[in-house]
C-alpha cells in the first residue's frame, strides 16, 4: 500500500507524530492550497467547510470558526465542517488554523453561495470564431491552479453538438472545432479560450488535455495535441511558438479534413500553453505521427498497421501526468497513441521554456518493444511470455491497452508507472508487464485489497481473444488474482468500497453484476447496482454510487437515493450512454468531492455541487494524495473513469479518530492479521518484526513498546 513517493512516518510510542500527508506528493511540487472555505445554504442556516491540508498534522491542528467577526466554534478537532443554524445569506465567515493552540493562519473572509449549488456561467463559442455552425455544450473538465492563488480554476472542453457534432472515428462526418476555456471559479471570469481548429477532430479520443504545474513555478500549464490552424488563448497560431523551421512554415489556412470528415493527413503537434494567459509557450511535433514517425504527412496505407484501413485506430489518444524522475524531479506529460494494436507511450518534460522528449515506448508487436531515450538512442527487447500465461495473449502493450489509463508508483521505487489496463509501462519507458488479457473499456487502480501490499487493478475486457470477461491483478507485477471469461464485450465495470460490512473494495461489471470482494473474489451481494462512477458524498468512509446525475447509497443490500442533481438547473451528465460528469474532484471545502455538470437550461452554465452533510471524519484534502491528484489529470481522458485514492480510506481515518490506544504486549487479534501504520500503509502480518509505535489493526489502535 502506498509505497509511492511517501514521507517517512516516525510514530511516537504513545500518540505518535502524524504523517504530513498520506501518499507523498513531492514537496517541491505539492500544490499550495488555501483553506478553500465555502459556506452553502442548507435550508436551516449555512453549512461551512474547509480544507485540512496534506502538510497539516491532523492530531495537533485545530480550527476556530468566525461569523461576522465573532467566534462561533473553537478548537474544532473533528471533521473540517460546521453546521451554522444561525447563519444567513449575508453572513461572513473566516477560519483560523491553530497548531498546539497557537494561531498560525487566518483564511480570507467569504460569504455563502446564493444557492445550494454554485453556477459558473460560461461564454459559449461563437460560430464565427469556430468557423462552423455547430452548437456547443460543456463537456469534460479538469482542475488546476493556473494563477498561483491557491484555488483551482476549471478548464472546460466544449463539445460541438449541432450540424457537425463530435464523433468517434468509427463514424464518418465532419466535426466542429475543439475549444478549451479556462474559468476562475471564484469570480466566473474566463481567462482565455484556445481554438484547436478544424485539424483536430472533436470527440472523446482526440483531445486529451493536461492541466498541471509542469515547471514547478506554482502555476499550472496546459498541454495538448494541436495542428496547423490551432490558435492559442491570445489568438496566435501555435506554430509560431515552435523552434523547428518546418513547423513555423506550415500552412495555417489549410484544412486536412477529408470528404468523410476524418483528419488523417497533415502535421501533428504538441503544444504547452501558459495556464494563466493561454499563450502558447512551445510547440513541437507530436511523437509519433500517424505513420509511426515524427513530422510531416502520411498516406492512408501507412496507417494500416494500427489495426484498420481507414485511420480510425491511429487516432486513439490518452494522457496523464506522471512523476518519472522521483521526488525531486519535475513531472512529465505522458501522451499515449494506440492500444488496439500498436501502442506508443511518449513522456515529455518541460523546463519552463521548452518541451523535450524524455523517452518513447513503442510496443510494435505482441512480442517486441522499442524504447527511444532522450538522446535518440533506441533499444529493443523481445518478450515471449505474459503474466497471464495466455498463449493467445500479447506479451507487450500491443493490444493490451484501454480506453483509459492510470498512474501511480506501483512498484515502490519512488517513481510513477503508467497503467494501461492489461499492461504497464515503467518509469524509464520499458515494459513493466503485460497480462495478455487484451483491450478494455474501463479500469480502476487503487488499494482495492488493503490486506495485500501495494495496489491492485480491476479491468473489464472488450476483445474476444483471450475471451472478454474481467480480471483483478496486482498493479506492480500483473499477477492475475481473480478473473472470469465471458461471451461478449464487457463494456463497463466499477470498483468501489460500497459494502460497509465487507473489508476492502468490491468490484462488478455490466456482464457480471454480482458484487465481489477484492480480497477473496467471492460474491458478497447479488444486488445489481450502477457501473458508472463513484463519489464521496455522505460523510461516512464508504463510496457512494454516481450514475449520471444521481448519487445513491448502498446499505443493507439495497440502494437509497441521496440526491439527484438533475432536479436542479436541469443539470446533465456528459458523453451519452456513459453518463459521466464533467468532473468529480475534491475542489474545495472538506474531503468530500464536488460534482460538476452542465445546465440544460441554457447549455452554457456549469453547476457545481458540494455536499452539506456533516462528517466527523478528519481527512486531508484528497488532492494532496498523489494517486488521486494524478487521477484528476487523466479523468477526462477518452472513456472517463473516476479517481481513486492511493490508500484505503477506512484505515487512514481510523488513525485520527478519538479512539483509545490499546496496550499490546503480545500479538493482538491474530497471527494472520494485517497491520497498518498511522498513514494507512500495510506493514505486514508479523507483529514481532514491527518497530515500536502505534498501529491500526482491524480499525483499532495498538501501541507496541
- pLDDT beyond 50 at 101: yes
Cα distances from 635 to residues 32, 459, 581, in angstroms, run: 22, 16, 10
- pLDDT beyond 70 at 695: yes
In this structure, is the dihedral angle defined by the CA atoms of residues 576, 579, 584 and 589, taken in order, positive or negative?
positive
269 pLDDT tier (thresholds 50, 70, 90) = very high
Higher pLDDT, 214 or 295: 214
570 pLDDT tier (thresholds 50, 70, 90) = very high
Distance (Å, whole) CA 110 – CA 95: 10
Chain segment 193-219, per-residue pLDDT in tens: 999 999 999 999 999 999 999 999 999
Q: Give the pLDDT of residue 16.
A: 27
Pairing mode, strands 38-41 and 70-76: unpaired
Cα distances from 107 to residues 50, 95, 110, 242, 688, in angstroms, run: 10, 5, 9, 42, 46
Chain segment 378-433, per-residue pLDDT in tens: 999 999 999 999 999 999 999 999 999 999 999 988 899 999 999 999 999 999 99
DSSP state of 314: G
Least confident of 48-62, 71-85, 130-144, 225-239: 130-144
Contact 139, 574 (CB under 8 A): yes
Q: What is the CA radius of gyration of the chain?
A: 25
- pLDDT beyond 60 at 77: yes
- pLDDT beyond 80 at 21: no
Distance (Å, whole) CA 680 – CA 2: 8
* Mean pLDDT of the region 345-362: 98
Q: For residue 371, what is its C-alpha cell?
A: 524504447
Q: Give the pLDDT of residue 2.
A: 26
This prediction's pTM: 0.93
Q: Give the pLDDT of residue 384.
A: 97
670 pLDDT tier (thresholds 50, 70, 90) = low
DSSP state of 375: T
Task: For 261, list phi and psi in degrees, rounded to 5.
Answer: 90, -5
Sheet strand arrangement including 401-408: 401-408, 417-421, 423-425, 431-434
215 burial class (0-12, 13-18, 19+ CB within 10 angstroms)? middle
Higher pLDDT, 687 or 139: 139
- pLDDT beyond 90 at 482: yes
Closest CA to 2 of 417, 454, 328: 454
- pLDDT beyond 50 at 277: yes
Pairing mode, strands 210-212 and 417-421: unpaired
614 burial class (0-12, 13-18, 19+ CB within 10 angstroms)? middle
Amino acid at each position: 500500500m502506498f509505497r509511492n513517493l511517501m514521507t517517512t512516518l516516525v510514530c511516537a510510542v504513545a500518540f505518535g507524530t502524524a504523517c504530513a500527508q498520506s501518499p507523498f506528493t513531492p514537496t517541491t511540487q505539492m500544490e499550495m492550497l488555501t483553506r478553500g472555505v465555502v459556506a452553502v445554504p442548507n435550508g436551516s442556516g449555512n453549512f461551512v467547510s474547509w480544507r485540512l491540508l496534506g502538510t497539516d498534522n491532523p492530531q495537533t491542528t485545530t480550527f476556530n470558526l468566525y461569523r461576522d467577526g465573532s467566534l462561533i466554534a473553537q478548537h474544532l478537532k473533528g471533521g473540517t465542517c460546521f453546521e451554522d443554524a444561525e447563519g444567513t445569506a449575508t453572513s461572513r465567515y473566516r477560519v483560523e488554523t491553530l497548531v498546539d493552540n497557537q494561531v498560525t493562519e487566518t483564511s480570507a473572509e467569504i460569504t455563502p453561495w446564493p444557492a445550494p449549488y454554485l453556477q459558473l456561467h460560461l461564454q459559449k463559442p461563437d460560430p464565427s470564431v469556430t468557423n462552423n455552425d455547430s452548437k456547443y455544450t460543456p463537456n469534460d473538465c479538469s482542475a488546476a491552479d493556473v494563477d498561483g492563488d491557491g484555488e483551482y480554476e476549471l478548464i472546460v472542453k466544449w463539445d460541438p453538438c449541432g450540424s457537425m457534432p463530435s464523433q468517434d472515428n468509427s463514424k464518418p462526418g465532419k466535426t466542429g472545432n475543439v475549444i478549451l476555456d479556462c474559468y476562475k471559479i471564484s469570480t466566473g471570469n474566463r481567462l482565455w479560450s484556445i481554438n484547436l481548429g478544424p485539424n483536430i477532430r472533436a470527440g472523446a479520443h482526440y483531445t486529451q488535455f493536461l492541466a498541471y504545474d509542469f515547471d514547478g513555478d506554482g502555476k499550472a500549464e496546459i498541454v495538448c495535441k494541436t495542428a496547423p490552424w490551432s490558435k492559442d488563448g491570445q489568438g496566435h497560431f501555435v506554430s509560431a511558438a515552435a523552434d523547428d523551421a518546418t513547423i513555423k512554415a506550415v500552412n495555417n489556412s489549410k484544412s486536412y479534413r477529408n470528404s468523410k470528415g476524418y483528419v488523417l493527413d497533415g502535421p501533428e503537434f504538441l503544444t504547452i500553453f501558459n495556464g494563466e494567459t493561454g499563450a502558447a509557450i512551445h510547440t513541437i511535433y507530436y511523437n509519433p505521427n500517424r505513420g509511426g514517425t515524427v513530422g510531416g504527412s502520411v498516406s492512408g496505407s501507412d496507417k494500416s498497421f494500427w489495426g484498420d484501413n481507414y485511420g480510425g485506430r491511429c487516432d486513439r489518444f490518452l494522457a496523464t501526468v506522471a512523476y518519472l524522475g522521483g521526488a525531486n524531479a519535475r513531472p512529465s506529460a505522458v501522451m499515449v497513441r494506440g492500444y488496439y494494436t500498436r501502442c506508443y507511450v511518449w513522456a515529455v518534460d518541460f523546463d519552463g521554456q521548452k518541451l523535450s522528449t524524455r523517452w518513447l515506448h513503442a510496443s510494435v508487436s505482441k512480442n517486441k518493444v522499442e524504447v527511444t531515450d532522450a538522446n535518440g538512442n533506441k533499444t529493443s527487447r523481445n518478450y515471449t511470455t505474459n503474466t497471464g500465461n495466455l498463449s493467445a495473449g500479447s506479451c507487450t502493450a500491443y493490444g493490451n491497452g484501454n480506453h483509459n489509463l492510470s498512474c501511480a508508483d506501483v512498484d515502490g521505487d519512488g517513481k510513477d508507472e503508467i497503467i494501461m489496463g492489461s499492461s504497464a509501462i515503467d518509469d524509464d519507458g520499458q515494459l513493466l508487464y503485460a497480462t495478455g488479457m487484451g483491450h478494455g473499456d474501463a479500469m480502476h487502480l487503487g488499494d482495492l485489497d488493503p490486506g495485500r501490499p501495494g495496489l491492485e487493478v480491476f479491468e473489464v475486457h472488450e476483445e474476444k481473444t483471450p475471451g472478454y470477461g474481467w480480471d483483478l491483478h496486482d498493479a506492480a507485477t500483473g499477477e492475475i488474482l481473480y478473473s472470469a471469461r465471458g461471451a461478449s464485450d464487457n463494456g463497463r465495470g466499477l470498483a468501489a468500497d460500497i459494502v460497509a460490512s465487507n473489508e476492502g473494495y468490491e468490484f462488478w461489471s455490466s456482464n457480471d453484476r454480482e458484487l465481489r470482494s477484492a480480497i477473496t473474489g467471492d460474491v458478497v451481494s447479488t444486488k445489481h447496482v450502477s457501473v458508472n462512477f463513484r463519489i464521496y458524498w455522505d460523510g461516512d468512509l464508504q463510496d457512494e454510487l454516481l450514475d449520471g446525475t444521481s448519487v445513491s447509497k448502498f446499505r443493507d443490500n439495497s440502494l437509497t437515493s441521496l440526491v439527484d442533481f438533475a432536479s436542479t438547473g436541469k443539470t446533465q451528465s456528459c458523453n451519452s450512454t456513459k453518463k459521466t460528469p464533467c468532473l468529480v474532484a475534491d475542489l474545495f471545502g472538506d474531503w468530500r468531492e464536488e460534482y460538476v455538470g452542465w445546465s440544460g437550461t441554457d447549455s452554457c452554465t456549469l453547476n457545481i455541487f458540494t455536499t452539506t452533510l456533516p462528517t466527523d471524519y478528519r481527512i486531508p484534502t484528497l488532492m494532496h494524495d498523489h494517486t488521486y491528484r494524478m487521477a484528476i489529470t487523466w479523468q477526462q481522458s477518452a472513456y472517463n473513469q473516476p479517481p481513486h485514492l492511493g490508500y484505503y480510506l477506512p484505515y487512514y481515518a481510523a488513525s485520527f479518530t478519538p479512539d483509545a490506544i490499546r496496550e499490546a504486549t503480545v500479538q493482538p487479534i491474530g497471527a494472520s492479521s494485517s497491520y497498518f501504520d498511522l498513514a494507512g500503509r500495510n506493514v505486514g502480518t508479523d507483529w514481532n518484526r514491527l518497530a515500536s509505535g502505534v498501529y491500526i489493526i482491524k480499525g483499532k489502535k495498538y501501541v507496541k513498546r
